[in-house]
Amino acid sequence: MELYGWVHSRRDHGKLVFIDLRDRSGLVQVVFGPEMKEAGSLRGEYVIKLTGKVAKRPEKLVNEKIPTGSYEIQATGLEILNPSAELPMPLDTDGYEIGEETRMKYRYLDIRRERVKNNLIVRHKVTKYIRDYLSERGFVEVETPYLSKSTPEGARDYLVPSRIQKGDFYALPQSPQQYKQLLMVGGLEKYFQIVRCFRDEDTRGDRQPEFTQLDIEMSFVTQEDILNLTEDLFIKLTKELFPEKTISTLDKDGRLPRLKYADVMAEYNSDKPDLRKDKNDPNELAFAFVTDFPMFEKKDDGSLGAVHHPFTLPSTDTSLDPVRFQHASSEEYKNLMKILDSEKESLKLLAYQYDFVLNGYEVGGGSIRIYNQELLAKVFERLGNKPEDVRRQFGHMLQAFEYGVPPHGGIAPGIDRLVMLFQNEPNIREVIAFPKTGDGRDLMMGAPSEVDKKQLDELGLKLK
């Protein structure tokens, strides 16, 4: 038989040379007899091709730590396809003891590490399960643009200058929020996307300049419809892919708790409570939903901000059908518009907003959306935007809402954080193939970096 892979380790035993050959599937021991003199030149991480015969190991030499431990390959031929320089770090440990700067600079080597490789394989299984689950239930996966318009949505945008329209800029999307709502205007009804998002904000263990989320939007749904779908998806995903895990927050009917924001803040002083019964148990998962968030909050500078985002539907009573707050003829709508005239009264409003939490982390968030253009404009103005600025920045949304928009809402669980928690990792960098460092640098590629003056001239840019 023929085998290809890397030399994981080498041991000389007199006239015999033993190596562990590694590929993505695992390890196997290879034995070179005294006639295979070229084996003496093998070193760690050499890429080789070999031929040989499968043989059963003597019972006392079986290695029960690996799946192939009962067998070995008795080599009959060897070809060194590519040697390796001396490694800048060991690859036969879990890597936690190695500094981030080294691991990120040589990330392509770090991925060879069993733990990191397995994290990426698990991530693949999670996203595949999600795609299959939603596709089977009538959802359509749609890609939305990465080059879009800069609009105020909370965090700072990453800007991309236009070469053709000098002085104008695209923005990388903080989320596909407006696009997914416009897909509902387009009548798609059930949309999802496993999508990359970009936010220019300070990084930390569970945050990166670019991250991945499962984006879901649905028409003609209630808040409970969305929570039920999310609950069913992640309960089934956990049981299928992580059978060793226990969801400790399931009630006797197999449902996850719906907790009100005011209650969790009073009891836990956090809107993402850690509900585990034993916080030392790595296989305990405590999923829950937190609902009934405030619509607005005071920001550090004293201005008013949206707790979720401006497209979230505000409410005086979230137990009521949200459609009643968007019918211009209803008393609820008239009362809501009157409240929005006052900043003080607006701060009392709740929202049809919900977060998905797990073990002390927010792993997703969503809301029922505003689809009434007059109400949407009013919310933006309440947030301090002038009417002409609202029309300039969001005119495309307001115009779209003139053409028969269905009631709709959605949720966006974060893939990075979920896989991090499933894998018991300390931060999301451990489950991303090529992450940035804690301060947002790509040490492997050397980014961010200076660019040639010619490129700046083509873009009509000059550095200050």
Q: What is the pLDDT of residue 423?
A: 98
- Number of domains comprising the chain: 2
Residues 359 and 248 in one domain: yes
Give the amino acid at 264.
V
Residues 145 and 244 in one domain: yes
For residue 26, what are the domain limits?
2-82
Cβ atoms of 326 and 313 within 8 Å: the answer is: yes
Residue 149 neighbours by CB distance under 10 Å: 14
Residues 179 and 261 in one domain: yes
HEC readout, 155-178: CECEEEECCCCCCCEEEECCCCHH
Q: What is the pLDDT of residue 204?
A: 65
Question: Is 140 inside any structural domain?
Answer: yes
Cα 335-339-342 angle, rounded to 5 deg: 160
Residues 174 and 242 in one domain: yes
> Which CATH number characterizes residue 259's domain?
3.30.930.10
Q: What is the pLDDT of residue 207?
A: 80
Residues 360 and 425 in one domain: yes
> Which CATH number characterizes residue 20's domain?
2.40.50.140
Q: What is the pLDDT of residue 14?
A: 84
Q: What is the pLDDT of residue 439?
A: 84
Residue 20, CA distances (Å) to 43, 87, 115, 148, 170 in order = 11, 17, 17, 50, 51
Query: Helix count (H) and strand count (E) of the chain?
Result: 12, 21
d(CA 171, CA 167): 13
Residues 55 and 155 in one domain: no
Give the amino acid at 60.
K
Q: What is the pLDDT of residue 65?
A: 86
| pTM of the predicted protein model | 0.94
Residues 132 and 279 in one domain: yes
Question: Is 217 inside any structural domain?
Answer: yes
Question: Is 301 inside any structural domain?
Answer: yes
Strand partners, 79: 49
Q: What is the pLDDT of residue 416?
A: 97
Residues 171 and 254 in one domain: yes
Residues 175 and 218 in one domain: yes
Q: What is the pLDDT of residue 431?
A: 97
CA 351 to chain centre: 25
Residue-wise pLDDT tens for the chain (464 aa)? 999 999 999 999 888 999 999 999 999 999 999 999 999 999 999 999 999 999 999 888 899 888 999 999 999 999 999 999 999 999 999 999 999 999 999 999 999 999 999 999 999 999 999 999 999 999 999 999 999 998 766 678 999 999 999 999 999 999 999 999 999 999 999 999 999 999 998 766 568 999 999 999 999 999 999 999 999 999 999 999 999 999 999 999 999 999 999 999 999 999 999 999 999 999 999 999 999 999 999 988 888 899 999 999 999 999 999 999 999 999 999 999 999 999 999 999 999 999 999 999 999 999 999 999 999 999 999 998 888 988 888 889 999 999 999 999 999 999 999 999 999 999 999 999 999 988 889 999 999 999 999 999 999 999 98
DSSP states of 249-317 as a string?
T--TTS---EEEHHHHHHHHSSSS----S-TT-TTEE-EEEEE--BSEEE-TTS-EEESS-TTBPEES-
d(CA 160, CA 148): 9
Residues 164 and 263 in one domain: yes
Residues 137 and 231 in one domain: yes
